Amino acid sequence: MKRNMPPYWMECVLELLLPSRDRETVAGDLREEFTEEKLPALGRFRASLWYLRQVVSFAPRRVAEIAFRGPLLALFCVFTGLAGGWLGVMGILLGHHGRGQRIAAAIVTQALLTLAALYFDGSRVLRVLSMLGSVGTLGLGGSALRATLYGADF
Amino acid sequence: MLTVSRGYVYIVDMAELLGTFEQIVLLAVVGLDEGAYGRAVLREVQSVSGTERSISAGAVYATLDRLEAKGLLCSRIEEGTPSRAGRVRRFYRVTSAGAHALGEARRALEKMWQGKKWPLEVSA
């Protein structure tokens, strides 16, 4: 039965990219098209590529919506990404062991917050996540500043 | 709306006129009548335009949402089938405002085409 369905992870990404209103309808439409039309005509690999292309086509709109709804969250995530990247490079260049893992953990946490915010669109949850994201970013930024000014461990 | 003043033709309220893709989607919904749900509209748009590869589902659903937000389409939810794991289907219908907008767009184009020869002769 599962062989007739689109790849599970692609369906998950699609649902993540869709607003709650369209989550069931659009995912159902694409699964129907995949199962009844694309899979018999194109085979599993090419049908999966077709499905992936459709999933990706929803991304720009979703990102724009989130950026519009939660500009602070988007800004904080960009800042955290840049700060994390810079700290990571510095950690590698200066050979400080142990920083990499903490930076990676901070970035992963931030990414998870962003993904959760994408899923719970336009709700109180988004505001709470934005707040958590801001606190995390401030913490990261503070640590980065401290490490830069005083050479302290991040 | 087209307004003629001092021999010039001005297109007023251009934002009110439908874009080409919006017209295609609206006409697909009109053509499908009672069967106009997301997947059917997607297939119709892709078949009519003849460029299946270049028209993505994201573009079609975004246009459907926009047209609905403008009040040119309305939708209703119906039960899903086993092939879609019971997920509901959204059926679309063109509203009277949508039909009016399509008519306006067609009239505007016809007016612009009046007196033009086809194929167009343009100097290099």
Query: Domain residues for A139?
Result: 63-150
- How many Å is the maximal CA-CA distance in chain A? 63
- Please judge whether A57 and B57 are an interchain contact, meaning their C-beta atoms are less than 8 angstroms apart: yes
Q: Is the ipTM of this complex over 0.85?
A: no
Q: What's the pLDDT at A144?
A: 64
Residues A135, A90, single domain; the answer is yes
First to last CA, chain B: 31
Selection from A79, A83, A81, A87 nearest residue A154 by Cα: A87
Q: For chain A, state the CA radius of gyration.
A: 20
Residue B62 contacts A, CB cutoff 8 Å: yes
**Comparing A47 with A65, which gets the higher pLDDT?**
A47
The average pLDDT across A28-49 equals: 94
B93 and B74 in contact (C-beta within 8 Å)?
Answer: yes
Selection from B71, B60, B66 nearest residue B37 by Cα: B60
Q: What's the pLDDT at B6?
A: 39
Alpha carbons B80 and B12: distance in angstroms, whole number = 44
Alpha carbons B75 and B95: distance in angstroms, whole number = 10
Q: According to the per-residue pLDDT averaged within each range, which of A107-121, B9-23, B48-62, B78-92 is highest?
A: B78-92
Tell me the residue ranges of DSSP E strands in chain A: none
Alpha carbons A151 and B4: distance in angstroms, whole number = 73
pLDDT bucket at B35, cuts 50 / 70 / 90: very high
Alpha carbons A33 and B37: distance in angstroms, whole number = 12
Sequence spans of domains, chain B: 17-109
Number of separate domains in chain A:
2
Query: What are the angstrom distances between the C-alpha of A7 and each of A31, A40, A43, B115, B121?
Result: 10, 15, 13, 54, 51
First to last CA, chain A: 50
Q: What's the pLDDT at A3?
A: 73
A69 and A19 in contact (C-beta within 8 Å)?
Answer: no
Alpha carbons B45 and B67: distance in angstroms, whole number = 15
- Name which of B61, B77, B81 is nearest A26 (Cβ-Cβ): B61
pLDDT bucket at A104, cuts 50 / 70 / 90: low
Residues A145, A92, single domain; the answer is yes
Q: What's the pLDDT at A76?
A: 67
Residues A73, A141, single domain; the answer is yes
Residues A41, A95, single domain; the answer is no
Q: B97-121, pLDDT tens digit by residue?
A: 999 999 999 999 999 999 888 888 7
Alpha carbons B30 and B26: distance in angstroms, whole number = 6
The average pLDDT across A34-61 equals: 92
- Please judge whether A32 and B37 are an interchain contact, meaning their C-beta atoms are less than 8 angstroms apart: no
Q: B79-100, pLDDT tens digit by residue?
A: 988 888 889 999 999 999 999 9
Question: In A, which residues are within 8 Å of B59 by CB distance?
Answer: 57
Residues A100, A144, single domain; the answer is yes
pLDDT bucket at A78, cuts 50 / 70 / 90: low
- How close, in Å, is residue A27 to chain B by CA atoms? 8
Q: What's the pLDDT at B120?
A: 83
Q: What's the pLDDT at A16?
A: 85
Question: In B, which residues are within 8 Å of A26 by CB distance?
Answer: 38, 57, 61
- Please judge whether A30 and B81 are an interchain contact, meaning their C-beta atoms are less than 8 angstroms apart: no
The average pLDDT across B58-65 equals: 94
pTM: 0.67
State yes or no: pLDDT of A126 exceeds 80: no
Chain B residue with minimum CA distance to A57: B58
Q: Which long-range contacts (CB under 8 A, 24 or more apart) does B76-79 make?
A: B77/A25, B78/B37
* Topology of domain B17-109, CATH: Arc Repressor Mutant, subunit A (1.10.10)
For B9, the 3-state DSSP assignment is strand
Question: In B, which residues are within 8 Å of A28 by CB distance?
Answer: 80, 84-85, 87-89
Residue B54 contacts A, CB cutoff 8 Å: no
- Please judge whether B80 and A28 are an interchain contact, meaning their C-beta atoms are less than 8 angstroms apart: yes
